[in-house]
Copies of this chain bind each other. A is one copy, B any other.
Amino acid sequence: MLNYTLPLSLGILAGLLGFVVGMLLQQDSSYRSINKAISNDPYIYERRQQIYEATMFFSYSCSIDPPQRTPCAVSTLMKYGFPGLDDIHIYRNFVLSYDRRNRIAHWVCEHLARDKLDCDDPVVHKPSEFLVDTSIPLLFRASARDFYKSDWVGSQLASPLNYKCNAYDYFETYMLTNIVPVSRGLKTNVWSRLEQHVRQLAQQHGSVYVYTGPLFMPQRITFRNWAIKHQVIGVNTVAVPTHFFKVIIVENEENCDQLPYMEGYVVPNAELDKEIELSVFLSEIRDIEHFAGLKFFEGDRREYQNLIENVESRATLDT
């Protein structure tokens, strides 16, 4: 009798042990594969909580996080969330939501860090023409030809000057998905000053996230009637936005627990007076959300009036 008890209990014990190890290993292999899928696919990333819940039987996992794709990982770039989920494309240094109807981006999200802005020998070789993103179906692509002989010039939403330390990163901003029709007078003046302002914030505070995109604002037609009117150019009918927005999220280096500070700018897509102050274009992030149909992070959004005072007092201090 004793002869049977030992092998039997040993067998049951080994079986149970094997069972648990098997479940753990299967879960672990799933976990690794899911993490790989997440780092490549924004939609799986967005639903990661539900997918983890569905597949993780044990809350414990023996796996360490797999090394993330460099330099761009969705989770790093999208720390403050997706403003919208339409047709997301991931590049090395920015994430972009593409508007197939208007053939321009809905928004582009970038992360500027102080150490990536400074370098000894900047690379500024412009590619001879815009680059085509073949992941967009031909039917919904804009082409460089659409901009020929129009009153508008193709300009980047994610500024190439943010990436002048790396030739490949610099080139990537010439992707046609990142290009919008911009008024010539705006591009060389107010818009480039606004981009410079974002880089300055990154230099000062170390880490800045910025969302840039087009706006289509209504105009009053008669007393009670409002309408949106915007040009379309080229055979692909690329939409010319009436305005552009920038939503800037500035992280606090010293106090990470504090909510990041946020600024919103709205600039009309037209030639503007060169002397005009940037603070004139400050606007409520809620208004940008309303007209763009996007939802941004709920950070420390200073009230409009305070914002202007704040920027003005900073400007006074700087001089």
Contact = CB atoms under 8 A, between A and B. Distances in A.
Contact of A11 (B11, B54, B102): B11
A194 interface: no
A6 interface: yes
Contact of A41 (B50, B286, B289): B50
A34 B226 CA distance: 47
Most buried by B among A101, A149, A221, A227: A101
Nearest to A54: B33
A20 interface: yes
How many copies are assembled? 2
B11 A22 contact: no
B43 A55 contact: no
Given A26-B26, A84-B100, A226-B233, 12 more contacts: A19-B25, A27-B30, A30-B55, A33-B54, A34-B51, A37-B53, A43-B47, A44-B51, A55-B55, A85-B87, A100-B293, A228-B229
Contacts of A101: 216, 291-293
Contacts of A19: 18-19, 21-22, 25
B50 A37 contact: yes
Interface in A273-319: 286, 289-295
Nearest to A12: B14
A180 to B, nearest CB: 16
Contact of A232 (B29, B226, B239): B226
A95 to B, nearest CB: 15
13 contacts: A7-B10, A19-B25, A22-B22, A22-B24, A37-B47, A41-B47, A47-B47, A84-B86, A84-B100, A139-B289, A139-B295, A140-B295, A228-B231
Interface in A222-243: 224-233, 237, 239
A36 interface: yes
Interface in A204-224: 216, 218, 221, 224
A61 to B, nearest CB: 12
